[in-house]
Chains A and B, each alone.
Chain A
Amino acid sequence: MPKLLYNEPSPLETKVLSKRFGLDNSESLDVYLANDGFKAFLKARQMTPEQIVEEVKASALRGRGGAGFPTGLKWSFVPRTSPKPKYIVINADESEPGTCKDRLLMEYDPHQLIEGILIAGLAMDAHKGYLYIRGEYRYLIDHMDRAIAEAYSKGYLGRNIAGTEFDFDLYTHSGAGAYECGEETALLDSLEGKRGIPRMKPPFPAVAGAWASPTLLNNVETFSAIPAIIRDGGAAFAALGTPKNGGTRLVCISGHVNKPGVYELPLGYPMLKAIYEVAGGIPGGRRLKAVVPGGSSCPILKAGECDIPMDYDTLAKIGSMLGSGGMVVLDETTDMVKFALRIMRFYAHESCGWCIPCREGTTWLRKILQRFDDGGGRPEDVALLGELSKNMLGRTFCALGDAAAMPTISIVEKFYEDFEKRLAQAMVAV
């Protein structure tokens, strides 16, 4: 019997990170070793730390957590010769609405992630790593604990890894429910046993991160891409994507599609092809209304804006983001007032309250949108939504304020008619 996956793979996928997902016992170290596992680590062991970082730079890999920062550049910021201990922190706090890929990377291929972390350890001269997993993913914390124990028992973690002189310890760390902790500095505060509140930057985590020590912090998917990059070369990974947008990524397609699922697609993949061919199109032949391209924080795209290649730079050019890979497809039946309200209820709930523009802004936006949805919207509210949102932009420690404001601005501007319709209904009711 074939292995039961969360969703059927698509023949249109380019499987690099997910190539082992369908194998029986893909989570076991033996299966990993029999399928290219730890070749990259042994190769990296023969390289200098600078060469490793150069290889990651050459791959044009960009952070898969959401910000899309060039990974090699981030790696080069960590002062590896610092006398302080250096730490690797892995962000598995996957909570951006629309995103569900790190789950699969941990569940189906935990040793790929571990190998990526070890290579980062070599490059940073770091010997300890902390895998921060959101509390809701308890089964994955247990799963990773088992994978880590297996790696220790077979010499792939601990002292003298794989017969080399390199030591590394890896620990899981449970979150307890807080979207904010996906933000890297809030995550570090949470890791230190505090409320997850963002820190002032600079200093950046590369210089003063976990316990005030130099810290490399990347997303699960970013680390999971490292073994393939080192094994096959950065150039080969880069060539899969488009210039400055290297490789493949796990795109999580959800919402109004016939075959929702997580699919590994090269950067620059056509968005409409992803919707209509990879994900099987929209149920009932209904028309596309909008797409959230990379998690709920990203400005929304109207159907007419979706004939684009999915890479960071193209999305930036049209005023949105590729984000975390969470692509939410909305068909013509979607009520954008309700959609905007649900997004804002989320951000108002998750705002940590540290910065006033975000704490107050998200609450006011939620109230106004709720009023609209309840049928009491006033004509001046539309402008007020835009004004409030714009006053939040860039005025907070972390990106949560922007993440709440940007989709609201885009929804109000691009789907003004949905708000007008509600206003007309409110007038009739009066």
Chain B
Amino acid sequence: MTFSPNLEEKFAKMLAAYPEGRKRSAVVPMLIYAQDETGAITPELIEEVARRCEVAPLQVDEVVGYYSMLHRKPLGKYHVQVCTNISCMLVGGTELYEHAKKKLGIGNKEVTADGQFSVEEVECMGACSWAPAVEINYDFHHFVTPEKLDKLIDGLRKKQ
């Protein structure tokens, strides 16, 4: 399995960053960066990461199950993550999450039929003082209202 030249370069640097004989340290970052490119963590990807990090595939597999950002199934092209933790909840985060599901017509961690959007209720993402917050893929959006979220989603729909 090979990745894009940029990612290959990143992985080469990554494996050199840890002390001698500690390539296993690259497992988590390698998985998340690879997932961004492949869309999901497949058995093939697990084998590949295991080979590169010089561990058994099972040692990679058990890591996948632990971290909430690692997924075995593809998410939408735009993954809409709505925080409902305390700071967001107090200023409308829960309602915003309900609105997002309704707007997209899907439930938590589900993907729209066209594969474009998925939604997830997430835990605190570190935007408490600018709540409620939404992260779409890796882009933060602060002080989000249902109207603002509609605009964001409609804008992404047009981009397709």
* Chain A interfacial positions (CB closer than 8 Å to B): 6-7, 85, 94-100, 102-103, 128, 130, 134-139, 169, 171, 173-179, 190-196, 211, 252-256, 260-262, 292, 296, 326, 328, 330, 334, 338-339, 342-343, 346, 349-350, 352
* Contact yes or no, B67 A175, CB < 8 A: yes
Q: Which of B27, B31, B122, B129 counts the most A-chain CB atoms under 10 A from its CB?
A: B129
Q: Considering residues A128, A255, A343, which has the most beta carbons from chain B within 10 angstroms of its beta carbon?
A: A255
Residues of B within 8 A of A342 (CB): 84-86, 89
Q: Contact partner of B19 among A102, A211, A254, A326, CB < 8 A?
A: A211
Alpha-carbon separation in the docked complex, A254 to B24 (Å): 39
The CA-CA distance from A255 to B17 in the complex, in Å, is 40
Residues of chain B from 62 to 80 with CB closer than 8 A to chain A in the complex: 62-63, 66-70
Query: Would A255 and B32 be within 8 Å (CB), given that A100-B128, A192-B22 are in contact?
Result: no
- Which residues of A sit under 8 angstroms from B135, Cβ to Cβ? 136
Q: Are A97 and B87 in contact (CB under 8 A)?
A: yes
| Nearest CB in chain A: distance from B149 CB, A | 18
A-B contact pairs, 5 of them (CB 8 A): A85-B19, A136-B125, A178-B68, A193-B25, A260-B128
- The stretch of B98-106, B137-145, B152-160 that contacts the partner chain: B137-145
B40 at the interface (CB under 8 A from A): no
Starting from the known contacts A194-B63, A256-B91, A330-B90, 6 additional A-B residue pairs (CB-CB under 8 Å) come to A103-B127, A135-B32, A169-B17, A173-B28, A211-B22, A339-B89
B residues apposed to A, CB below 8 Å: 17-19, 22, 24-29, 31-33, 53, 55, 59, 62-63, 66-70, 84-87, 89-91, 122-131, 135, 138-140, 142
With a cutoff of 8 Å between Cβ atoms, the chain B residues found around residue A296 in the complex are 85-86, 124
A97-B128 in contact (CB<8A): yes
Question: Bound state CA distance, A261 and B19, in angstroms?
Answer: 40
> Complex formed: what's the CA distance from A135 to B128 in Å?
17
Q: Which residues of B contact A338 (CB under 8 A)?
A: 89
A174 to chain B, nearest CB (A): 4
> Is the beta-carbon distance between A135 and B129 smaller than 8 angstroms?
no
Query: Across the two chains, which residue of chain A brings its CB closest to B135?
Result: A136
- Whether A260 contacts B84 by the Cβ 8 Å rule is no
Nearest-CB residue, chain A, relative to B36: A138
- For residue B143, give the distance in angstroms from its CB to the closest CB of chain A: 9
Shortest distance in angstroms between B63's beta carbon and chain A's nearest beta carbon? 6
**Shortest distance from the beta carbon of A305 to any chain B beta carbon, whole Å:** 18
A253 and B123 contact, CB distance less than 8 A? no
**Contact indicator A177/B68 (Cβ below 8 Å):** yes
B104 to chain A, nearest CB (A): 20
Which 3 residue pairs of A and B lie closest in terms of their CB atoms, listed nearest first?
A177-B69, A193-B27, A177-B68
Q: Are A191 and B90 in contact (CB under 8 A)?
A: no
Give the residue name and chain of the A residue nearest to B139 (CB). A139
B69:A136 contact, CB within 8 angstroms: yes
Q: From B31, B33, B130, give the contact of A260 (CB < 8 A).
A: B130
- Of A97, A134, A211, A350, chain B has the most CB atoms within 10 Å of the CB of A97
In the complex, which residues of chain A have a beta carbon less than 8 angstroms from the beta carbon of B89? 338-339, 342
Q: Determine if B124 and A135 form an interchain contact, defined as CB atoms under 8 angstroms apart.
A: no
Report A9 CB to chain B, min CB distance, Å: 12
Known contacts: A136-B69, A328-B90. The answer to whether A100 contacts B29 by CB under 8 A is no
Q: B130 and A6: CB pair below 8 A?
A: yes
Beyond A135-B32, A136-B69, A342-B86, is A193–B26 a contact (Cβ under 8 Å)?
A: yes
Question: Nearest Cβ in chain A — how far from B51, in angstroms?
Answer: 14
Instruction: Find B126's partner among A137, A261, A349 (CB 8 Å cutoff).
Output: A137
Give the residue name and chain of the A residue nearest to B66 (CB).
A195
- CB-CB under 8 A from A135, the residues of chain B are 32, 67, 69
* CB <8 Å contact, A176 and B85: no
Q: How far is the CA of A169 from the CA of B31 in the complex (A)?
A: 23
Whether A254 pairs with B131 at a CB distance below 8 angstroms is yes
Check if A254 sits within 8 Å of B66, measured CB to CB: no
CA gap between A33 and B129 in the complex, in Å: 30
- Chain A minimum-CB-distance residue to B84: A342
A97 proximity list for chain B (CB < 8 A): 85-87, 123-124, 128
Known: A136-B69, A136-B135, A252-B129. A195 touches B62 (CB 8 A): yes
Residues in A neighbouring B91, C-beta threshold 8 A: 255-256
**B86–A98 CB distance below 8 A:** yes
Q: Which residue of B lies closest to A134 (CB)?
A: B126
Q: Does A138 contact B63, Cβ atoms closer than 8 Å?
A: no
A103 close to B126 (CB less than 8 A): yes
Chain A residues closer than 8 Å to B131, beta-carbon distance:
254, 260
Assuming A97-B87, A178-B68, A343-B86, is B63 touching A192 (CB within 8 A)? no
Known A178-B67, A343-B86; contact A193-B126, beta-carbon cutoff 8 A: no
Known contacts A99-B126, A137-B126, A192-B24; is A174 also within 8 Å of B32 by CB?
A: yes
B128 to chain A, nearest CB (A): 4
In the complex, the chain A residue whose C-beta lies closest to that of B88 is A254
- The reply to whether A139 and B140 form a contact with Cβ atoms under 8 Å apart is yes
Alpha-carbon distance between A174 and B124 when the two chains are bound, in angstroms: 17
A328 to B131, CA, bound (A): 11
Chain B residue at minimal CB-CB distance from A170: B17
